[in-house]
């Protein structure tokens, strides 16, 4: 039986509320510094949602291009770190793109002045402007993939992926399978999303899923995954990019690996329109599948980068799933949720968290779960707090669980 082709990560790039680039994220993680703050890029006075994990967008012209901008910046950094040479004589058919694509934000010029009119928010007019701007700018998933493929010299398959909050991990998993089956030698994988706009935020608000600061409360303390005081998640935006390569391709060109994409697993609860199964059955199935794909047991995992949104149901369901899979070790394995720092990036969440997991493997560092103070007895986990934890990190399980029970997990191993 032929040996399965191993998949390596040779470059990463990231944009989120923590900043632009790997260096900014390393510094924020080490300092235990979050990026959730008051919304600045649209007039939120009188709007029911006032906080978000806004990503820096310096240099972005007015218009609906935030998602595309974040994706381009993250991929450029990943390609630069990988030192992946441009293909000679045209795009390389052995290079593919698999990208998790969220919903582009309502353009700034469509939002300007609405809160100042004194007439409230005219939702039908905002929606009309949103649709028109997308049509005029051609900001579709196909257009984004075309741009990313051009940037990376990818002449092979181009796949847009959307499985809600599991999208980033599913994009990585699809890229992994392409390389394992010999359909590609290089896959530019990742995800981008930007839903910090009135229409998108109101959708989440109507689901009663968002956390809100109390009067005088610091926005950075509002997102509290696994804490008994948690009341919902905070929307973030940005992008995470990873260059995946077959072992043979990486060796032939003399590239340096950052980490190995060792395992991938997915499942679907099909339990409800938005709810996951309260006992975490689908989430547990995805974790087991990812570990089996990696040929690893739960005891080999040093750190779980939890989905950890900060909603009551999702955190308890994830905790239940971890106990199902890890048994007694569920109280020992280190766990944290970086969403308390970045906000929830929806389609881009697990792509960004995969990048942060790679940094943890490289640096021997487990980032803290900010704002965790009062443990929920129904989330009986070893949550890392304070300034994080230093020590050997050889294998990470990174979880991504979406609306309706769409689940995807990846296992990342030290190079």
Hey, where are the domains in the chain?
7-252, 262-414
Residue 370: which of 234, 188, 175 has the closest Cα? 234
d(CA 401, CA 290): 13
pLDDT number for residue 96: 98
Phi-psi region of 58 (alpha: psi -120 to 50; beta: other; left: phi over 0): beta
- The mean predicted confidence, pLDDT, of the chain is 91
d(CA 176, CA 187): 8
pLDDT in tens, 147-167: 999 999 999 999 999 999 999
DSSP string, 139-196: --HHHHHHHHHHHHTB-S-EEEE-BTBTHHHHHHHHHHHHHHTTS-SEEEEEEEEE--
DSSP string, 288-305: HHHHHHHT--GGG--EEE
CATH fit for domain 262-414, picks 3.40.47.10, 3.40.50.12280, 3.40.190.10, 3.30.830.10 = 3.40.47.10
User: Which residues is 406 bridged to in the sheet?
Assistant: 268, 402
pLDDT in tens, 259-316: 999 999 999 988 777 777 888 999 999 999 999 999 999 999 999 999 999 999 999 9
d(CA 275, CA 333): 26
- pLDDT of 117 strictly over 60: no
Q: The dihedral of CA 33, 34, 40, 45: what is its sign?
A: negative
Structure tokens at 220: 């950075």
Give the pLDDT band (50/70/90) at residue 116.
Answer: very low
Give the pLDDT band (50/70/90) at residue 118.
Answer: very low
What average pLDDT does the segment 213-237 reach?
96
Give the pLDDT band (50/70/90) at residue 58.
Answer: confident
Structure tokens at 232: 């919902």
Contact 105, 235 (CB under 8 A): no
Active site residues: 165, 307, 344
Helix H or strand E encompassing 319: helix 312-326
- pLDDT of 248 strictly over 70: yes
What average pLDDT does the segment 210-227 reach?
96
What average pLDDT does the segment 348-363 reach?
98
pLDDT in tens, 288-301: 999 999 999 999 99
The correct answer on CATH 3.40.47.10 for the domain covering 7-252 is: yes
d(CA 237, CA 298): 31
């Amino acid at each position: 039986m032929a040996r399965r082709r191993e998949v390596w990560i040779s470059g990463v790039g990231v944009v989120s509320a923590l900043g632009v680039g790997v260096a900014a994220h390393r510094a924020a993680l080490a300092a235990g510094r979050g990026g959730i703050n008051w919304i600045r890029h649209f007039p939120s006075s009188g709007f029911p949602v006032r906080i978000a994990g806004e990503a820096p967008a310096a240099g972005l012209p007015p218009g609906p291009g935030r998602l595309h901008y974040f994706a381009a910046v993250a991929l450029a950094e990943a390609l630069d770190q990988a030192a992946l040479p441009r293909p000679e004589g045209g795009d390389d058919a052995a290079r593919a793109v698999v990208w998790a694509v969220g919903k582009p934000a309502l353009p700034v010029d469509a939002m300007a002045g609405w809160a100042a009119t004194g007439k409230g928010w005219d939702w039908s007019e905002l929606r009309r402007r949103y649709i028109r701007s997308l049509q005029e700018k051609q900001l579709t998933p196909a257009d984004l993939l075309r741009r990313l493929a051009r940037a990376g010299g990818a002449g092979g398959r181009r796949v847009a992926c959307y499985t809600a909050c599991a999208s980033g991990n599913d994009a990585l998993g699809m890229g992994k399978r392409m390389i394992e089956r010999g359909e590609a030698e290089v896959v530019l994988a990742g995800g981008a999303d930007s839903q910090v706009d009135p229409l998108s935020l109101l959708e989440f608000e109507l689901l009663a899923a968002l956390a809100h600061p109390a009067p005088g409360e610091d926005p950075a303390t509002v997102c509290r995954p696994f804490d008994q005081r948690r009341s919902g998640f905070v929307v973030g935006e940005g992008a995470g990019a990873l260059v995946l390569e077959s072992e043979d391709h990486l060796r032939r060109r003399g590239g340096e690996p950052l980490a190995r994409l060792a395992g991938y697993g997915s499942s679907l609860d099909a339990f409800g329109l938005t709810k996951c199964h309260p006992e975490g059955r689908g989430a547990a199935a995805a974790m087991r599948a990812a570990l089996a794909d990696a040929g690893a047991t739960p005891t080999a995992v040093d750190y779980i980068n939890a989905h950890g949104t900060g909603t009551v149901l999702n955190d308890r369901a994830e905790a239940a799933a971890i106990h199902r899979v890890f048994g007694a070790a569920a109280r020992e394995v280190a766990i944290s949720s970086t969403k308390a720092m970045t906000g929830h990036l929806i389609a881009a969440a697990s792509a960004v968290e995969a990048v942060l997991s790679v940094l943890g493997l490289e640096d021997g560092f487990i980032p803290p779960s900010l704002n965790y103070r009062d443990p929920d007895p129904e989330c009986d986990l070893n949550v890392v707090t304070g300034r994080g934890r230093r020590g050997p990190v050889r294998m990470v399980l990174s979880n991504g669980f979406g609306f309706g029970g769409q689940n995807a997990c990846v296992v990342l191993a030290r190079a």
